[in-house]
Chain A
């Protein structure tokens, strides 16, 4: 089951991503340039970039400029007033809320999923088998379907309109995919390594942290990134489980901002830019890790 690209490495060294950034595989068509492919590639780039360009340019226009200038042209007099307006409208609080909810969901989800994946892969009991099947079933269920009972539970537990109300279901819904990816990677850790550690008298708890964790690091990173993106950008739970500005997270703030400032399109788009900026910064800094992590996790 171990793929050829994943060779055993000593447990002390951090495991390499299953797919190295520069693969030996060059893909088809190294002999002569692929003009058709290149054309398609540039076309898709245009499709991706035009909306982004429009949003950034418009966010730098003042309202009068927006109504009079050509929508696709850069502003004659660029202004940051829209950004100021957004920042003055409690942007920092929404940002902090998003950060708390994301970190508060992703770390516990990683921890419990990792432990579960270790038990499922290394253990052999009917209970674990049953647990694994339940998680696999969870992958097929559209989670939106459960919002009404969740709303009922959260209101009953007097957690409505708190950040904890967003964190708890987010953790639960992150578990199935996390366990799946982590256990797929954990199966590729050679059994001999576990055996030799066991002969040295290591407990399962110690093997989990000292062998399984370093060996599955790319998967842990993948799962962390994937879940963080999902929670950070999540909209449905905040929409139904929170209400006041004190608990508002960024995606929901965009929506309410759009309601309040519907005529001021440049300001609404400035809010879009500001809400995306934190992730863009992360992307620029950790791009390689992010992309190779996601690739490794899902193509197994």
Chain B
């Protein structure tokens, strides 16, 4: 991260005081790191959320690890993570390339694409709940029996409905990331390719895609780690149901803690959530190579 000039002189300068970072650090330690340690501690206790916290050894862990609902929640989380990545990543990438083009109509479309970014998850969930109603929603409105299914009541369908709604809400954000990435690709690369007679598809695979390497890593990391946080949307849309069909890990944790009043077991689930999140982030960083700050413009 060193700059080309002045580095020798800079070494003589004291540099800003570390105290400037202290307020941010204090906030973060108090409301993120201490709770993180707290969740580990609470997983070895039993607590109903109101009364006293009692040390209880491994009993919460035994409860959580022997409960088939935990395994199911992990499976549902993995499925939603996988499918929402498979759906969102290509759509966001293509839309990002599409909206980065200079054409006027594309710019106009882009303005509308980003409207879902403004809606809260609660609003999105409520809107889709109404829209997907078999009697008073989209299916009935268009007179298409295929669309008039009991989308949220059918345990085979509901997972894909959740994936679709997640994509509806989050593709705009990732489109924006890709749009920014595409706009940083030097025009000279495309000009050279055109002179060489490369077609649009060839340009996409030989220039756009490799140049977007770091954007793809950023977006994918946010997507995958973010899918551990699809709490509010699913909570309002399905409440985890029908049955346990959409009971994701974070939702399972919330319901265990705040509805079943078993904060110990919920904390154990929280620890599992943290471990999965960290493992995924590390894995994705490793896959993407370490030096993420290296210039994307190398070879331009």
B190 touching A272 by the CB < 8 A rule?
Answer: no
Chain A contact residues: helix, strand, loop or mixed: helix
Least CB distance from B286 to A in Å reads 12
Question: Which residues of B104-163 are within 8 A (CB) of A?
Answer: 105-106, 109-123, 126-128, 130-131, 136-138, 140-142
Distance, CA A105 to CA B288, complexed state (A): 33
B94 touching A119 by the CB < 8 A rule?
Answer: no
Q: Could you give, for residues 138-149 of chain A, a 1 whenever the CB lies within 8 Å of some chain B CB and a 0 otherwise?
A: 111111111111
A201 is an interface residue with CB less than 8 A from chain B = no
Identify which of B17, B24, B39 contacts A145 (C-beta below 8 A).
B39
Q: Could you give, for residues 84-126 of chain A, a 1 whenever the CB lies within 8 Å of some chain B CB and a 0 otherwise?
A: 0000000000000000000000000001110110111111110
Q: Could you give, for residues 2-16 of chain A, a 1 whenever the CB lies within 8 Å of some chain B CB and a 0 otherwise?
A: 011100000000000
Distance, CA A37 to CA B225, complexed state (A): 29
Q: Could you give, for residues 182-200 of chain A, a 1 whenever the CB lies within 8 Å of some chain B CB and a 0 otherwise?
A: 0010010011100100100
Give the size category of B's interface with A: 35 or more
B25 touching A134 by the CB < 8 A rule?
Answer: yes
Distance, CA A142 to CA B270, complexed state (A): 9
B18 touching A127 by the CB < 8 A rule?
Answer: yes
B28 touching A135 by the CB < 8 A rule?
Answer: yes
Residues of chain B lying within 8 A (CB to CB) of residue A235: 120-122, 231-232, 235-236
B78 is an interface residue with CB less than 8 A from chain A = no
A125 touching B126 by the CB < 8 A rule?
Answer: no
A112 touching B118 by the CB < 8 A rule?
Answer: no
The 26 sampled A-B contact pairs (Cβ below 8 Å) are: A22-B102, A34-B200, A41-B95, A45-B112, A50-B131, A71-B138, A112-B24, A115-B23, A119-B19, A144-B273, A145-B39, A146-B270, A147-B257, A150-B31, A172-B27, A173-B32, A179-B24, A191-B3, A195-B6, A233-B119, A236-B254, A255-B236, A275-B120, A295-B183, A296-B180, A299-B178
Interfacial residues, chain B to chain A (CB-CB below 8 A): 1, 3, 5-7, 9-10, 13, 15-21, 23-25, 27-28, 30-36, 38-39, 41-42, 49, 53, 91, 94-95, 97-98, 100-102, 105-106, 109-123, 126-128, 130-131, 136-138, 140-142, 168, 172-173, 176-187, 190, 194, 200, 203-204, 207-208, 215, 218, 225, 228-229, 231-232, 235-236, 250, 253-254, 257-258, 263, 266-267, 270-271, 273-274, 276-278, 280-282, 293, 295-297, 300
Known A28-B203, A113-B24, A275-B120; further 12 A-B contacts with Cβ < 8 A: A23-B183, A25-B182, A25-B186, A28-B101, A29-B203, A70-B140, A149-B41, A153-B31, A191-B5, A235-B235, A239-B232, A254-B123
